[in-house]
Amino acid sequence: MRYASVVIAAPLDKAFDYEIPLEWRGKIQVGNRLLVPFGPRRLAGYCAGLKEAPDYPKVKPILDLLDPEPLLTPSLLELARRIARETLCAWGEALEAMLPAGVRGGTLPGKRLVARLAIPPSEALARASDLDTRAPQQAKLLRRLAGPAEAVALSQIGPQAAAAAKALVAKEWITTEAVEAAPELLLTETVERKVPLPLTPAQEQALAAILPAIEAPAHAPFLLQGVTGSGKTEIYLQAIAKTLARGRQAIVLVPEIALTPQTVRRFKERFESVAILHSHLTEGQRDSQWRCLRSGEAQVAIGARSAVFAPVPRLGLIVIDEEHEPSFKQQSKPRYHAREAALWRGQIENIPVLMGSATPSLEMYQAARDGAVRRLLLPARIGESPLPHVTLLDLTEEATQQKGFHLLSRPLAHALEKALAARRQAILFLNRRGFATWVHCPRCGESLRCRNCAVTLIYHRAKKLLQCHYCLFAAPLPRECPTCTFPQIKLFGAGTERVLEEVREKFPRAVVERMDSDTTQARGAHREILDRFRDGAIDILVGTQMIAKGLDFPNVAVVGVVCADTALNLPDFRAAERTFQLIVQVAGRAGRGGMDGRVYVQSYRPRHYSVSCAATHDYEKFAQEELSIRKDLRYPPFARFVRILIQGKDEKGVKAQAEALAAWLAPNPKAAAAASPGGAPEPSPLEILGPVPAPLSRLEGKWRWQILVKMAPAAEVGWLSGLPKPKHGIRVDVDVDPLNLL
Ligand code: ADP
Ligand code: ZN
């Protein structure tokens, strides 16, 4: 082929044709990174296809082939295109987002020793059997090299691999070679290997449902629903083992916050080469993980959202744990949801996608009801621990019974006392950082607000500062009201710091610590607090949702939710769903590992179905209630939203721009057609809500207006890419299926 079509890694939506110079004909493949002339510039792009004849008569030649191997697989190129189409960004932008910065940029320092077979794999396997008793390390290395990865770094196999490799090189069965790479490869920490557990009948059934799709392989989406501790992870592990046994690789997506050493260890105990992708990696580390995945050397990729782009050569399964987590949605361009991206990739690569949750998103629940996703249920916790008993406490009532201001109701305080006396531990959860969330003057009624954002300032006692949680604004607490000089301004609303203070006052002999993003900023701080909690050095841990996920500490006797309805009043149609999910998740921290545990949920609205259903662990009832409301109001999953956010420093300009966009949207005939595929029977399938000021009407000094476009659930969104360009100084962000409506 003499021509290549090239996607430039920039906000451009199409591929451009270039001529392949003679020296690279036959070498350049789809996915290769190339240097091409683009106007007066030289830019990096990706080969998206090869052709005999260009679309235009005059094409320029490719300047350079940037890597010997293609960085992207054809599937990833296609996935980028799909993401661009569905989230309304350019193909090149979606491609860029797939690649870690280091890989995009160039090559890496350092060398590592890599081994390769010098004999056919079948022969290697036969010789490995002969070596099993005499030289087990050599046998292991041979088997590894006969596997899907052609070359394997020795550092990755274990401390004895180098000696084994030397012996095998002497026999001329393998060769070794020093290659360029970052010094740190796959995580070298050695863990004890564990074998798969014999499955319970419910697990057996669930796995059996998934297996045919793994074996085929074929695309099929599964929703594995089971409370925490019901054995979902064990199913992921065994499904992955089956995938690897077929010579394919697997990707596991977990919320960033749940990407704890504890989670990762469970995968490393089962699989030899696990690559971890998370935001705390250095560029070099991220890069080397990525390359190990690209070469097939790493068999399993675990990571947050962007791990859905792990460039493994033969993907066989994608697992998404905690499918309902909002952190799977990226809040900047490309605004993809990792769950949706995984489903698209599953279609493109024709492989199963396994989604798990204790509290499935209503989107997936409805998809299961519609038959688009197969739901598999794990009905109970494994082993001795039943679900913890939950006591609901009405904070309004409690306030009338206790003098003064208390964050802990008497039953919760009493339970903590008992737990401490029995030398057990407790977790207290409040989803707000800081000391006071609202600083208010009782005389003039003013509260202290951020000067850049339409929010109140939060008082942080440890730092002795008033802080805005949205921008970086901070100021000391004034002695008097800035408006009326009244000398006694008051602190209202409580965050984790205040809970900490009250608990320390009430239990002076207990060790009480706080875990939230203020106390875990330093690298390793997160792990250190958890290690101390596990070792029993901390009696009571107070924290935000950081402590709600994935923690499994058997000695926790009491879990307290200090205020269950902090999220319930947010102007967001998912407020009830979030509230329900959070309470269930926090409650799941109690009564693990065969020990009993109790949960106390304090709430001002204990009768709200999101709180009461969480207290009875009743997902079905919650989902029914919530879905019937969503259906009446025509909210997702019964409609599709696109949010258009208009921001700028000039308030009038923002408003005018918002109005202009709304005027373009309303009568758009293309819109109406696209918005109701197949002429959906619903009344007015296309609705334009707004323009109105966004709930957060000002942020970081910018005014914010929004328009919500409401369409039928399966509506096309492509027509929205034709939105007129905004005026200078105004920014317009289009978010398809937004999770954040503030
Ligand atoms: P989930 O992912 O749903 O929270 P896990 O897979 O982590 O559940 O299982 C919860 C606990 O039960 C873990 O300690 C796990 O080792 C154990 N477990 C899971 N499956 C089995 C099984 N089949 N037999 C015995 N123990 C199991
Ligand atoms: Zn601010």
Q: How far is the CA of 454 from the centre of ligand 2 (A)?
A: 7
pLDDT confidence of residue 613? 95
- Report whether residue 113 contacts ligand 1, using a CB cutoff of 6 Å: no
Is 429's pLDDT higher than 60? yes
Of 362, 320, 259, residue with least CA distance to 626:
362
In the reported structure, the alpha carbon of residue 698 is separated from the centroid of ligand 2 by a whole-number distance in angstroms of 9
pLDDT at 110: 42
User: Sign of the C-alpha dihedral, residues 219, 220, 223, 229?
Assistant: negative
In a domain? residue 711: yes
On whether both 269 and 372 belong to a single domain, the answer is yes
Quote the pTM value.
0.84
Model pLDDT, residue 158? 61
Residue whose Cα lies nearest atom 23 of ligand 1: it is 199
> Does pLDDT of 243 surpass 60?
yes
- Is the Cβ atom of 350 under 6 angstroms away from ligand 1? no
More confident residue, 564 or 103: 564
Between 87 and 402, residue with greater pLDDT = 87
Is 321 close to ligand 1, i.e. is its CB under 6 Å away? Answer: no
pLDDT of residue 106: 44
Q: Which range among 411-420, 468-477, 663-672 has the greatest average pLDDT? A: 411-420
Ligand nearest to the CA of residue 356, numbered in listed order: 1
Q: Is the pLDDT confidence value at 184 over 50?
A: no
Q: Is the pLDDT of residue 292 over 90?
A: no
Identify whether 100 is part of a domain.
no
> Do the domain assignments include residue 441?
yes
Range of the domain at 276: 201-383
| Residues 507 and 557 placed together within one structural domain of the fold | yes
* Ligand 1 centroid, distance to 618 Cα (angstroms): 21
Cβ of residue 359 lying under 6 Å from some atom of ligand 1: no
- The per-residue DSSP string of 353-405 comes to EEEEESS--HHHHHHHHTTSSEEEEE-S-STT-PPPEEEEEEHHHHHHHSSS-
User: Is the CB of 356 inside a 6 Å radius of any atom of ligand 1?
Assistant: no
Same domain, 608 and 619: yes
For the ranges 255-259, 301-305, 653-657, the lowest mean pLDDT is seen at 255-259
* pLDDT (tens digit per residue) in 630-683: 999 999 999 999 999 999 999 999 999 999 999 998 776 556 556 555 554 444
When pLDDT is cut at 50, 70 and 90, the band that residue 280 belongs to is low
pLDDT tens column, 148-159: 667 777 766 666
Q: Give me the half-sphere count of Cα atoms (radius 13 Å) on the Cβ side of residue 481.
A: 18
182 has a pLDDT exceeding 50: no
Confidence of residue 383 (pLDDT cuts 50, 70, 90): confident
The whole-number pLDDT of residue 108 equals: 38
What's the start-to-end Cα distance of the chain, in Å?
51
CB 454 within 8 A of CB 698: yes
CB-based neighbours (< 5 A) of ligand 2, an ion: 450, 452-453, 468, 470-471, 473
Q: Is the pLDDT of residue 470 over 90?
A: no
Ligand 1 atom closest to the Cα of residue 200 is 23
Q: Look at residues 564, 597, 631 and tell me which one is the last residue of a structural domain.
A: 631
Final residue in a domain of this structure, among 599, 631, 663? 631
The number of the ligand 1 atom at minimal distance from the alpha carbon of 382 is 12
Residue 731 has pLDDT above 80, yes or no: yes
pLDDT at residue 684 in the model: 55
Whether 440 is in a domain gets the answer yes
Asked if residue 612 and residue 562 are part of one domain, the reply reads yes
Q: Are 270 and 151 found together in one domain?
A: no
Amino acid 99: pLDDT? 80
Residues 34-41, mean pLDDT to the nearest whole number? 89
Residue nearest to atom 10 of ligand 1 (CA): 229
The mean of the pLDDT values for the chain is 87
Q: Does 50 fall in a domain? A: yes
32 lines ligand 1 (CB under 6 A): no
Residue nearest to atom 11 of ligand 1 (CA): 229
- 111 pLDDT higher than 80: no
| Residue where a domain stops, chosen among 319, 350, 383 | 383
The region of weakest confidence among 271-275, 291-295, 657-661 is 291-295
pLDDT in tens, 535-555: 999 999 999 988 877 677 888
CA of residue 465 to ligand 2 center, whole Å: 13
Q: Is 575's pLDDT higher than 80?
A: yes
- Phi, psi of 423, deg, nearest 5: 60, 40
**188 inside domain:** no
Specify the CATH number for the domain of residue 76: 3.40.1440.60
CB within 8 Å of 483: residues ≥ 6 apart: 441, 444, 446
- Rounded to the nearest whole angstrom, what is the distance from the C-alpha of residue 229 to the centroid of ligand 1? 6
Q: Is the distance from the beta carbon of residue 382 to the nearest atom of ligand 1 less than 6 Å?
A: yes
Whether residue 89 lies inside any domain: the answer is no
Is residue 65 domain-resident?
yes
Is the Cβ atom of 231 under 6 angstroms away from ligand 1? yes
Q: Are residues 145 and 79 in the same domain?
A: no
Ligand 1 pocket member 228 (CB < 6 A): yes
Ligand that comes closest to the CA of residue 701: 2
**Between these two residues, 636 and 388, which has the higher pLDDT value?**
636
The listed range with the strongest mean pLDDT (130-139, 366-375, 430-439, 593-602) is 366-375
237 and 316 fall within a common domain? yes
What confidence score (pLDDT) does residue 252 get? 97
Q: Are the beta carbons of 599 and 391 closer than 8 angstroms?
A: yes
> Does ligand 1 lie within 6 Å of residue 199's CB atom?
yes
Determine if ligand 1 sits within 6 Å of the CB of residue 197: yes
Ligand 1 contacts CB of residue 262 (under 6 A): no
Give the rounded percent of residues in the chain with a pLDDT score beyond 90. 50
Q: Give the DSSP per-residue string, 132-145.
A: TTT-HHHHHHHHHH
Is the shortest distance between the CB of 735 and ligand 1 below 6 Å?
A: no
Q: Which of 647, 635, 660, 643 is nearest to 720 (CA)?
A: 643
Residue 72 has pLDDT above 50, yes or no: yes
Let me know whether 479 and 555 are in one domain.
no
Q: How far apart are CA 291 and CA 298, in angstroms?
A: 9
573: pLDDT strictly greater than 50: yes
Q: What is the Cα–Cα distance from 394 to 604, expressed in whole angstroms?
A: 6
460 with 554, same domain: the answer is no
Number of domains in the chain: 6
Residue 107 has pLDDT above 50, yes or no: no
- Domain CATH code at residue 274: 3.40.50.300
Mean of the pLDDT values across residues 186-200?
74
For the cut 90, the answer to whether the pLDDT of residue 586 exceeds it is: no
Ligand 1 lined by 230 (C-beta under 6 Å):
yes
pLDDT tens readout for residues 588-620: 888 776 678 899 999 999 999 999 999 998 999
Instruction: Look at residue 129 in the predicted model and tell me its pLDDT.
Output: 81
E strand segments, 628-724:
640-648, 687-699, 702-711
Atom of ligand 1 nearest to the CA of 203: 23
Q: Which ligand is nearest to the CA of 471?
A: 2
DSSP letter at 580?
A: H
CB 611 within 8 A of CB 390: no
Contacts of 524 (CB under 8 A, 6+ apart): none
State the DSSP code for 722: G
Burial class (CB in 10 A: 0-12, 13-18, 19+), 709: buried
Of ligand 1's atoms, which has the minimum distance to the CA of residue 198?
Answer: 23
Residues 209 and 347 in one domain: yes
Asked if residue 535 and residue 616 are part of one domain, the reply reads yes
The answer, yes or no, to whether residue 207 has pLDDT greater than 50, is yes
The alpha carbon of 450 and the centre of ligand 2 are apart by a number of angstroms equal to 5
Does 137 share its domain with 235? no
Highest mean pLDDT: which range of 172-186, 494-508, 655-669: 494-508
